[in-house]
Amino acid sequence: MPIQETKHIWRNGKMIPWAEATTHVLTHGLHYGTGVFEGMRAYDTKHKGVCVFRNREHVERLIYSARVYRIAIDFSVEELMKACRDIVRENDLSSAYIRPLAYLGYGEMGPASQNVDSVLDIAAFPWGAYLGDDGMKNGVDVAISSWRRMAPGTVPAGVKAAGNYLSSRLISMEAKDRGFAEGIGLAHDGTLSEGAGENMFIVRNGKIYTPPAASSILSGITRDTVIVLAGKLGFEIIEQALPRELLYGADEIFMTGTAAEVTPVRSVDKLTINDPSFPITRQIQNAFFGIFNGETEDEWGWLDPVA
Ligand code: PMP
């Protein structure tokens, strides 16, 4: 999907024209993957106008990811939350995908360089359903990748670093080459990890299962949202290491992510889920989208109005 240009990019505290948000070829992050980022959404809500969803949690995760790689961020959580609201408003967007990116810039070569200034950019642009409107409604067909996710103790899967998306690229490209909508990665031990850009949930006998942080997942903010909403709906959520074959005997499966939102899975490796009417997934989907149409009360303060 081509990027839809907007007017401004927020860079290190200033709004600059979209076309001027360029960087040098010797940027550290381009060579060594020393960038961390976020993917957030702003929704045009029915009752509170345009709002950034879970702004604080995304900004906090960005700062955490940057800390692990010693990428300096010279802004507070509050300043960055404001910047995320500003970039949506300044670009006249009613709904948007927001992409903050902090990376080591130009100045020195070598992976452990200390004398490289960091750059913090925030872009915002329109972006529809990541796995398609049809996928959102009818479910997507996915396949387990031959590529494993990075093992614990290699590079940290639990922070949102640019380099981690080399794994996502391999997993997703392989699946797409084979005609599937998305690829699923197994952890180093063969248990379920996550989709290339989504967390996984499996419904079986009325209970909802999801892999834990130690299964090489990014602990998604949508995942957390779903855990809270499912609890409110009275479902038991079990976080545990999950064997691959559970996917093949699942009543329902769904994937979550800022881009993918709550997308049902129709089949895994061409084996169809037991209940293609997705009864529990639909309840979770409705509760999730209800936050934006006002049907789910936002008792957690997850909506941050940009106005
Ligand atoms: N796992 C990976 C690898 C991802 O890229 C994403 C998307 N950021 C997720 C899970 C879901 O995270 P979130 O719900 O915070 O967007």
pLDDT at 131 over 90: no
Cβ(92)–Cβ(306) below 8 Å: no
Residue 70: its pLDDT value, please? 96
Catalytic-residue membership of 137: no
* Ligand 1 site, residue 197, Cβ cutoff 6 A: yes
pLDDT at 129 over 90: no
d(CA 272, CA 268): 7
Residue 128: its pLDDT value, please? 83
The CB-side HSE value for 212 (13 A sphere, CA atoms) comes to 6
Q: What is the mean pLDDT of the chain?
A: 97
- How do residues 170-218 score in pLDDT, each as one tens digit? 999 999 999 999 999 999 999 999 999 999 999 999 999 999 999 999 9
Q: What is the 3-state secondary structure (H, E, C) of the chain?
A: CCCCCCCEEEECCEEEEHHHCCCCCCCHHHHHCCEEECCEEEEEECCCEEEEECHHHHHHHHHHHHHHCCCCCCCCHHHHHHHHHHHHHHCCCCCEEEEEEEEECCCCCCCCCCCCCEEEEEEEECCCCCCCHHHHHHCEEEEEEEEECCCCCCCCCCCCEHHHHHHHHHHHHHHHHCCCCEEEEECCCCEEEEECCCEEEEEECCEEEECCCCCCCCCCHHHHHHHHHHHHCCCCEEECCCECHHHHCCCEEEEEECCCEEEEEEEECCEECCCCCCHHHHHHHHHHHHHHHCCCCCCCCCEEECC
Which two tokens mark 178? 């084979």
Residue 48: its pLDDT value, please? 97
pLDDT at 1 over 90: no
Residue 73: its pLDDT value, please? 98
Report the amino acid identity of residue 71: I
pLDDT at 130 over 90: no
Looking at per-residue pLDDT, the higher value among 132 and 47 belongs to 47
Per-residue pLDDT, averaged over 61-77, amounts to 98
Residue 155: its pLDDT value, please? 96
Which two tokens mark 221? 């903010």
Cβ(61)–Cβ(84) below 8 Å: no
Task: Give the helix/strand (H/E) hosting 291.
Answer: helix 279-293
The residue ranges of every structural domain in the chain are 8-125, 133-293
Residue owning the nearest CA to atom 12 of ligand 1: 220
- How do residues 213-261 score in pLDDT, each as one tens digit? 999 999 999 999 999 999 999 999 999 999 999 999 999 999 999 999 9
Per-residue pLDDT, averaged over 76-88, amounts to 98
DSSP SS3 for 145: strand
Ligand 1 centroid, distance to 270 Cα (angstroms): 24
Q: Which of 160, 176, 207, 232 is catalytic?
A: 160
pLDDT at 266 over 90: yes
Task: Give the helix/strand (H/E) hosting 96.
Answer: strand 96-104
Neighbours of 249 (CB within 10 A): 12
pLDDT at 44 over 90: yes
* Ligand 1 site, residue 211, Cβ cutoff 6 A: no
From the DSSP assignment, how many helices (H) and strands (E) are in the chain? Answer: 8, 17
* Ligand 1 site, residue 251, Cβ cutoff 6 A: no
Per-residue pLDDT, averaged over 51-56, amounts to 98
* Ligand 1 site, residue 121, Cβ cutoff 6 A: no
Share of the chain above pLDDT 90, in %: 96
pLDDT at 49 over 90: yes
Q: Which CATH number fits domain 133-293: 3.40.1080.20, 3.30.2040.10, 3.40.50.12780, 3.20.10.10?
A: 3.20.10.10
Q: Is the dihedral of CA 203, 205, 207, 209 positive or negative?
A: negative
Per-residue pLDDT, averaged over 54-73, amounts to 98
Cβ(262)–Cβ(285) below 8 Å: yes
Residue 91: its pLDDT value, please? 98
Q: How would CATH label the architecture of 8-125?
A: 2-Layer Sandwich (3.30)
* CA-based nearest residue to 122, from 104, 101, 138: 101
Residue 250: its pLDDT value, please? 98
d(CA 218, CA 230): 19
Residue 191: its pLDDT value, please? 98
- How do residues 270-290 score in pLDDT, each as one tens digit? 999 999 999 999 999 999 999
